[in-house]
Amino acid sequence: MSLDAAKDALRQSGLMDVPLNLLVVDDDEIDRMAVRRSLRHAGVNMTLTEAGDYATAIAALQERPYDCVFLDYRLPDRDGLAVVQEVRGRGDKTPLIVLTGQGDEEIAVELMKAGASDYLPKSKVSPEVLARILRNAIRIYQAELQVDRANRQREQLARQREDFVSRLTHDLRTPLVAADRMLKLFKQDAFGETTPEMSEAIAIMIRGNQNLLQMVNTLLEVYRHDAGEKNMMFDTCYLPEILREVYQELTPWAQDKQLSLTLANAVENGGAVMGDRLELRRLFINLIGNGIKFTDRGSVTVRLSLIAAPDPPPSSGVDDAAPDTASNPAPDIAFDTAPLRQIMVEVQDTGPGISPADQAILFDRYRQGNHKRAGSGLGLYLSRRIVEAHNGAITVSSAVGQGSTFTVRLPLKH
């Protein structure tokens, strides 16, 4: 590229519109002068600072930002590699162009690995070459800054969204809890005797309010998981005991719908897992509650059994889906992987079933499926997050018109 072409490229890139803050680090005055003259002959609009050693260069870099640094490897106090490591170590992405002497090409490669932007043998310093290298280095630098700004904006928007969700769920939950308490007082005739018609209306209102409260609570729990703010209290939990509690709590609902709710426990003794009891209870209330909700005739059966640990373990979601634990890794707890050391809970219903297309997205966030009574699309996503936080797996097996079976596998405690 000719000198005129190099100048045109600088003009087109906008690098001649405002002065560039440049730093030349070299202990040889003649070499610094060669860089200075070449930049001026190239027509670079600049404010140039010079340093002859490591200490002066670092002090200059700490005092003000630079658009580019031309750096000699051989300095009297420390080498150029120390400068690169210092700058990159504090997250500074300022372009660093290494100027090498004869025979220093291998050293230049090492400097590039450490984070230098480019290198140039001193024997090739010229206005044309410096203009080209400077333009390329600053163009890449500006692109990186734009990416950083975009990432910061996305992170800020994510924080604002999460803060909005947190505040919204809190503000919604408070009046819903108050309304639930008030409606139960009405049902108990605390404000006077109610007629059968009024009792029926109040019962409908209570169910609707509780459904809405459950949706708000689910939204809040999903937010906590995704924001990494969910702190689980792991301890010894007995799944047969938890399932009996959930079964007793949900039996009246099943009876209201004239459904048969059955708990079949094949685990004679034990059934202990390491987990958060409240989260496991939330998991099975959600799964069994879904079975009741989406089943109009027939039954919901819950089976508890011990199985051999598969190798490799099944993935979460549909059988061939990969689990997502990066944003909320399970606690550092030892789990037993010996044969017959997993516990399996199956929730089988005689509902309408789930299409293969819906099964593929069933455990994804905000994926509701096409069922007419589908909710917020967060319940099964939250269930998946809870299971994965316990080093387990959740899968679904279903066919349209033939019901569905949700299976949870958890490792037994040692």
Q: What is the pLDDT of residue 324?
A: 46
What is the CATH number that goes with domain 3-151? Answer: 3.40.50.2300
CATH code 3.40.50.2300 region(s) in the chain: 3-151
Residue linked to tokens 């080093």: 391
Q: What is the pLDDT of residue 191?
A: 82
Contacts of 113 (CB under 8 A, 6+ apart): none
The sign of the CA dihedral 101, 102, 107, 111 is positive
What is the CATH number that goes with domain 231-411? Answer: 3.30.565.10
β-strands 96-100, 118-121 pairing: parallel
Q: Long-range CB contacts (< 8 A, 24+ apart) of 224-231?
A: 225/327, 225/328, 225/382, 225/385, 225/389, 226/162, 226/327, 226/328, 227/162, 228/327, 228/328, 230/328, 230/389
Interval 306-323 mean pLDDT:
55
Q: What is the pLDDT of residues 187-210, one digit of tens each?
A: 888 888 888 888 888 888 887 777
Interval 32-47 mean pLDDT:
91
The conformation of residue 77, written as its DSSP 8-state character, comes to S
Torsion angle, alpha carbons of 302, 304, 307, 311, to 10: 50
The conformation of residue 308, written as its DSSP 8-state character, comes to P
Q: What is the pLDDT of residue 23?
A: 96
Kindly indicate the confidence band of residue 269, based on its pLDDT and cuts at 50, 70 and 90: confident
Who has greater pLDDT, 214 or 148?
148
| Among the ranges given (163-177, 179-193, 283-297), the one the predictor scored with the smallest mean pLDDT | 163-177
The conformation of residue 121, written as its DSSP 8-state character, comes to E
The conformation of residue 122, written as its DSSP 8-state character, comes to G
**Phi–psi pair at 296, nearest 5 degrees:** -95, -30
Q: What is the pLDDT of residue 9?
A: 58
CATH code 3.30.565.10 region(s) in the chain: 231-411
| Among the ranges given (8-22, 92-106, 196-210), the one the predictor scored with the smallest mean pLDDT | 8-22
- 262, β-bridge pairs: 301
* Element (DSSP H or E) covering residue 346: strand 342-349
Q: Residue 352 pLDDT more than 60? A: yes
Q: What is the pLDDT of residue 329?
A: 46
Mean pLDDT over all residues of the chain? 82
Q: What is the pLDDT of residue 392?
A: 94
Q: Residue 265 pLDDT more than 70? A: yes
Q: What is the pLDDT of residues 125-173, one digit of tens each?
A: 999 999 889 988 988 888 888 888 888 888 887 777 666 666 666 667 6
Nearest-CA neighbor of 117 among 104, 101, 99?
99
| Among the ranges given (181-185, 295-299, 410-414), the one the predictor scored with the smallest mean pLDDT | 181-185
Contacts of 120 (CB under 8 A, 6+ apart): 97, 98, 99, 100, 129, 130, 133
339 cis-preceded (ω within 30 degrees of 0): no
Residue linked to tokens 């002497």: 101
Q: Residue 340 pLDDT more than 60? A: no
Who has greater pLDDT, 74 or 335?
74
Distance CA 32, CA 71 (A): 10
CB 234 within 8 A of CB 204: no
Q: Residue 323 pLDDT more than 50? A: no
| Among the ranges given (43-57, 226-240, 293-307, 378-392), the one the predictor scored with the smallest mean pLDDT | 226-240
